[in-house]
Structure 1
Amino acid sequence: MKQTAKMNAIRSGIVVVGALAFGYLTLQLGFKPFLEKAQETLEKSDPPSPPSQ
């Protein structure tokens, strides 16, 4: 009985980690064009920093 509960907990943990990874990748792929556009905009508007001595 104790072994079954432990296996179920491990299985549940693996499912949760898999779901989080899948969600993260989905967001990264879904918002990639918007994130790249925002990054380009920030790079263009950011003035170059003066060289340090």
Structure 2
Amino acid sequence: MSAGGSRARQNAMRSGVVVLGAVAFGYLSFRVGFKPYLDQAQEAIDSARDPDPDPATTAARDASDDPGAGRPGGDLGPSKDPAVVLRD
């Protein structure tokens, strides 16, 4: 009877190893397959957590990005963004 118990134990160990290998393979394939999406999500979380702590940098960037700066009416200059054109 001890031979049957030993064989059952070996089968259980083998099954455990197969299950752990399958879980590891699934995790790695998930990480590799969704890597671009996971990176984008991480960047979005990081930017939402700390958008731009230096107000001087934000003001300088806004002034350089503003196409309507210096014109009467402020930022009402023509936009090349299709969403803005459709919204207006």
| TM-score bracket for this pair, using the shorter chain length | 0.7 to 0.9
1:44 paired with 2:19, answer no
Opposite residue 16 of structure 1, the aligned amino acid is: V
- For structure 2, the 5+ residue unaligned runs are 54-88
TM-score by length of 2: 0.51
TM-score by length of 1: 0.80
- Displacement of 1:44 in angstroms is 1.9
Query: What's 2:59 paired with?
Result: none
* Whole-angstrom CA distance in 2 between matches of 1:22 and 1:47: 35
1:33 paired with 2:36, answer yes
The number of equivalent residue pairs is 49
- Displacement of 1:46 in angstroms is 2.0
- For structure 1, the 5+ residue unaligned runs are none
* Whole-angstrom CA distance in 2 between matches of 1:46 and 1:9: 47
Query: What's 1:21 paired with?
Result: 24
* Whole-angstrom CA distance in 2 between matches of 1:28 and 1:4: 36
Higher relative contact order (CA 8 A, sep 6+): 2
Query: What's 2:85 paired with?
Result: none
**Is the radius of gyration larger for structure 1 or structure 2?**
2
Task: Determine what percentage of the aligned residue pairs are the same residue.
Answer: 51
